[in-house]
Amino acid sequence: MCSRTPRSSRTGRPRSTEADEAILEATRAALVELGWSKLTMGDVAGRAGVAKTTLYRRWANKNELVVDAVAVLFDELELPDLGSLRADVEHVVLQFAALLERPETKTALMAVVAESTRDEPLRERIRASIVDRQKRLVLEGRMRAQRRGELPADRDLPAVGATDDLIFDVIAGAVVHRALVSAEPVDGPWVARLSALLVGGLGAAAAGDRDG
């Protein structure tokens, strides 16, 4: 997993967690109010009550700052043990949907994704700071389901990694598309259908592996 701290290699005074939190919160607020195009490092510094040089010691540019402002929101996602894989999946999907309903998450995520279509380094930072970091939820859910006996133990590790990637893509893609593109509710009945489809597919795949 990537570190949550943006730029730790520079020398100087020690990092302030309080200052970082204020800066990231100010970034999200500015995005909601101003939008991507009008957001500046100077505006964020003013809102956070820090010098602009403080921002540049931590983030090289606006792109890095906004990605980290979004990434800490997704770090709030958790996967509690609710007794079954399906219940665990339903919970985290509803939690993800609730996060996307927050104006600061929606605005920031849409802004960085749109900008990344023409900025490859930004796309790589999104992948490392958000996507790869949140795949921990898939790994945690699969290992927990194996301990319960809901899924068989891993035999083909490369195939398992590819499956984890696919599970993440299916969940994230479905929820983001429904919530932010189609503007449809991610409610209990829809989440139950998605979870049943996903868990049923995993069960079928596991049975095929055993038969093979």
Note the pLDDT tens digit of each residue in 12-67. Answer: 444 578 889 999 999 999 999 998 889 999 999 999 999 999 999 999 999 999 99
What pLDDT does residue 1 have? 40
What pLDDT does residue 151 have? 85
Cα(89)–Cα(124) distance, rounded to whole angstroms?
Answer: 27
- Among 93, 112, 103, 115, CA closest to 176: 93
14 residue type, one letter: P
CA distances 127 to 44, 67, 208, Å, are 24, 10, 31
What pLDDT does residue 45 have? 96
- When pLDDT is cut at 50, 70 and 90, the band that residue 10 belongs to is very low
Taking residues 4-8, report their average pLDDT. 44
Going 137 to 131 to 168 to 98, the CA torsion angle's sign is positive
Residue count of the chain, please give it. Answer: 212
Residue 11 has pLDDT above 50, yes or no: no
pLDDT tens per residue, range 88-136: 999 999 999 999 999 989 988 888 899 999 999 999 999 999 999 999 9
Mean residue pLDDT across the chain: 87
